Amino acid sequence: MKVLIIGGGGLVGQKLARALAARETLRGAPISSLVLADVIDPAQVDAPFEVQTVTCDIADPASVASVIDADTDVIYLLAAIVSGQAEEDMTLGYQINMMGTMNVLERCRELASKPVVVFTSSIAVYGGEVADPIIDDSFLNPQTSYGAQKAIGELLINDYSRKGIVDGRGFRLPTISVRPGKPNRAASGFMSSIFREPLNGQEAVCPVDPDFPHYYLSPRKCIENLIKGAEIPAQDLGKNRCMMMPGRMWTIDQMIEAMRNVCGPEPEKLIRWEEQPEILAIVKGWRFDLRPEKALRLGLTADDSFEDNIRYYLEDDKPVV
């Protein structure tokens, strides 16, 4: 079992690599090697099997060809230009998020080896005037370029799977919180930083009102779901191989209350409330009343409480000072 993680240097890629190293198997077979590919050479991960770290630009077909060969059994396609940046730089967003996905699938067509491809889509594919609640059959009406590019990626994953070129499956990730590390250029960045920074004794800015509702998942559950996602039998996926990944809807207020329940009243004092119109313009179009029935039926799960999200951050990610 040879696994490739494209986007292997990112938060999700690195956590996934460590989880694969710990479990040693995927889809019922021992992992023999893991390739971590990213636009900047990814950090190495300790594992009981060979781990290669390589640079790869998915906008370049030759670069994609250098990381996928006929022995690649499972490809995690996590690489993306995130929402804020894709909105600012339309050219780069389409190059990476649309053409990059196309290049990976076209490379698989050259090889005729039919790898499992796990694609990370986003709940940013939802939006517009589509009626609530969002169910598995709801129309995708993204209101950002990032969402449009992810919706296009889903169509490509489905079409190349239908043609027998890959065994694809796509999961629309909820907003991941609490993300460790530094902020990235995602418009959703504050949804982690307002917990992460205060828990680390630093100030953070919340650009939305306390009653702003959104749909969340912890990194730990996300990784569990991505591993299960690779293992779902193809015949259980039906004619649409892309689906919501389960998450839960919380308001900012409810999440702060959860932080208080776990860590006491001090951290929240470090949150500064300051409206940011350019962030609001993106996130107010996002949907939060989501019903991920297909994914739940297939065994994927959400967090039980936001208290868990806070605890997972403390257990898995909080820097030791």
Least distance to a copy of itself from the beta carbon of 17, Å?
31
- Supply the DSSP symbol for 119: E
Q: Which of 285, 314, 260 is nearest to 126 (CA)?
A: 285
Contact 258, 137 (CB under 8 A): no
CB of 74 to a copy of itself, least distance (A): 23
Closest CB 99 distance from a copy of itself, rounded Å? 9
Structure letter (DSSP) for residue 182: S
Cα 31 to Cα 122: distance, rounded to the nearest angstrom? 28
CB of residue 148 to a copy of itself, shortest distance in Å: 4
**Spatial distance between the Cα atoms of 227 and 208, rounded to a whole number of angstroms:** 33
Instruction: Select 135 or 270, whichever has its Cβ closest to a copy of itself.
Output: 135
Closer to a copy of itself by Cβ: residue 125 or 262? 125
How many angstroms from the chain centroid is the CA of residue 299?
18
Q: Nearer to a copy of itself by C-beta: 16 or 187?
A: 187
Task: Find out whether the peptide bond into 133 is cis, omega within 30 degrees of 0.
Answer: yes
Q: State yes or no: is 312 an active-site residue.
A: no
Burial class (CB in 10 A: 0-12, 13-18, 19+), 231: middle
Q: In the beta sheet, which residues pair with residue 167? A: 116
Catalytic residue among 76, 146, 160, 313: 146
Nearer to a copy of itself, 35 or 134 (CB): 134
Residue 175, phi then psi, degrees to nearest 5: -65, 130
Tokens of 214: 């959104």
C-alpha 265, offset from chain centre: 31
Q: How near is the Cβ of 136 to a copy of itself at its closest, in Å? A: 7
Provide the binding-site residues for a copy of itself, judged by CB under 8 A.
Answer: 90, 94, 102, 109, 127-131, 136-143, 145, 148, 151-152, 155-156, 158-159, 162-163, 238-240
Active site residues: 146
